[in-house]
Amino acid sequence: MKSTFIFLTLILFACGTSKGNNTGQDESKTTGKIFLGDACVYINATVDGKPISMYPINLEEQFKVSDLKISFDFSPSRAPQPTDCVVDRVVTVSNVFIVK
């Protein structure tokens, strides 16, 4: 009985999912330019050879400067798109740096 319990416990731990093991599959790196629209701040960038506009839900205030060129990582967000903000994607950004 005791050995069966230990065996089942080991199997449960072996089959468990690991938390915090984000491989970054959904994250991409690119450069883009900040624009201050009437309804929102957005980034115009080129991803996979296609121009896209992104609404960054977590862009720090210091980067909210019109025509500022930045390098950044981004991943898709499930946050709602602001009303009257016409963009291709809503994203979260990280590792944001000003490009000179």
CA distances (Å), 60 to each of 6, 14, 65, in order? Answer: 50, 40, 10
C-alpha span between 73 and 95 (Å, rounded) = 6
* Pair 85, 55: CB distance under 8 Å: yes
Q: What is the pLDDT of residue 75?
A: 96
Residue 89, domain extent: 27-98
The structural domain count of the chain equals 1
> pLDDT tens, 30-44?
999 999 999 999 999
Give 45-58 pLDDT, tens digit per residue: 999 999 999 999 99
CA dihedral 39, 90, 21, 17 (to 10 degrees): 120
Q: What CATH number is associated with residue 65?
A: 2.40.50
Tens of pLDDT, residue by residue over 62-92, are: 999 999 999 999 999 999 999 999 999 999 9
